A and B are shown apart, each in its own frame.
Chain A
Amino acid sequence: MRSIAIALTVARKDLLSEWRSRELVPALAQFVVLALVIANFGFQIDSRSAPAIAPGVLWLALVFAGLVAFGRAFAAEKEQASLEQVILTSAPAAAIFAGKALAAAALLVLCEAVLLPALSLFFGTPLSIALAAAVFLATIGMAALGCLFAAMVAQLRAREVMLPLLTLPLWIPFIVAGGQAVQVMMGGGGSYGQALWLLIDFDILFVVLTSLAARFVLDE
């Protein structure tokens, strides 16, 4: 119970500080729209090719927005030297980590709330609850892994380079399963239900693994 309270407090603190500064979410929202614009030039998009290209563009934009969001979650603490104080409290590391991951995931969900309608508007792809559900499930596991490695690289040299290097290979399962679900919703073949169950399995696996590992990363 105490751990849950701590996690919620940490998440609330992060969201409150984002609400007061309003730095990250507007920038990320602008970034994902910009990513769609760049994709338009890179891929020669017309009404025939759009449904085939849209899922790839969606995941690319989401992955890079995620890297920025999760990187900031710990980089800001490190810059203000507040990470040490948080770690020095008697709160369990897993609870602090869960709070940070929860807040970063919430910020990424806000960014998805811009990305999905924008994709639907510019690429003419269908927008549905099922599509949002698949993206949301992928966000959970991506946030767990992304925050674990963000906490790690915040304490390394060359952190901007290392976060994608460590995180992207382990995000691949979410992109494979999430990508399949999104392709089905955008008119491709395959099984939506199977992809969704796979996403839930990966979520459980990586949420458990990252909470076990948090203690070793948040301990200096």
Chain B
Amino acid sequence: MNRYLVAAAAAVALMIVAAAFIFLFAPTDALQGPVQRIFYLHVSSAIAAFVSFAVVVVGSVAYLWRESIVGDRVARSGALVGVVFTTVTLVMGMMWAKPIWGTFWTWDARLTSTLVLWIIYAGYLLVRRLAAPGRQAARFAAVVGIFGFVDVPVVYFSVTWWRTVHPGPVIATDALPPEMLFTFLFTMACTLVLAAVMIAIRYRIEALTDALPVGMAVRTPPPASLREPTSPQVGRIS
């Protein structure tokens, strides 16, 4: 078993332990009931998304400054993982909002800015796909990645800058009972490990893709009907 498989298995195991804490250890919220348990994963994945986008900025700056191909690959990996965790945040948030607020979506400052963050980094992934591969894609994406990060502090501070219906910070204000706080911190640590493992695996995929000769770096294999028949099948009577 290679080390990536070990790391992936360990990250999944940690998430299962975190789920056990969320459902078995943490007390049920007096006001919201079991729905409140969404909070642990929702906030953790939002933090994982912020960290992933910070990784994009660090990688992008390294690329623009020193033309570091490693920096570029790190940025690419961070963007994809960040978009995944932003998606998880949005979906979990909507699942929580329906029973609590009575609606899946409201144009609240935090919800809106998080959606915009998702759109910006989805745009980053599109730029990578549409630019000429290599230097151009790396440069353009780096610029988008750095500009897009402007939205991260906006998302974070949106609950204090504007009057919103989204709950404010509960960790910094010490509003959680110890069992909930422990469950949250544990879930957050596990989610960050998962994000780190995902970025590492994605980095490996990007490095292998870069190593392919030019023209073979096809990200998605063509459908079977378009694929050239490989040698053993040539001439086979079906």
Interface residues of A (CB under 8 A from B): 145, 148, 152, 155-158, 162, 165-166, 169-170, 172-173, 205, 209, 213, 216-217, 219-220
Q: Which of B116, B126, B143, B146 contacts A172 (CB 8 A)?
A: B116
* 6 A-B contact pairs sorted by A residue (CB < 8 Å): A152-B127, A166-B123, A169-B116, A170-B150, A216-B64, A216-B139
Q: Which B residues are CB-close (under 8 A) to A213?
A: 143, 146-147
Is there an interface contact between B130 and A157, defined as CB atoms closer than 8 Å? yes
- B119 beta carbon closer than 8 Å to chain A: yes
Also in contact, A158 and B130, with CB within 8 A (given A152-B140, A216-B139):
yes
Give Cα A152–Cα B116 distance, bound, in whole angstroms.
Answer: 20
Give Cα A70–Cα B131 distance, bound, in whole angstroms.
Answer: 19
List B residues 143-183 near A (Cβ within 8 Å): 143-144, 146-148, 150-151, 154
Give Cα A109–Cα B127 distance, bound, in whole angstroms.
Answer: 29
Interface residues of B (CB under 8 A from A): 64, 116, 119-120, 123, 126-127, 130-132, 136, 139-140, 142-144, 146-148, 150-151, 154
| Residue among A148, A170, A173 with the highest chain B CB neighbour number at 10 A | A170
Complex A-B, nearest 7 residue pairs according to Cβ-Cβ distance, in ascending order: A156-B130, A169-B120, A165-B123, A157-B130, A169-B116, A213-B143, A216-B139
Is there an interface contact between A162 and B146, defined as CB atoms closer than 8 Å? no
Q: Which A residues are CB-close (under 8 A) to B150?
A: 170, 205
Q: Which A residues are CB-close (under 8 A) to B126?
A: 162, 165
Also in contact, A217 and B139, with CB within 8 A (given A156-B130, A169-B123):
yes
Q: Which A residues are CB-close (under 8 A) to B151?
A: 169
Q: From B147, which residue of chain A is reached at the shortest CB distance?
A: A170
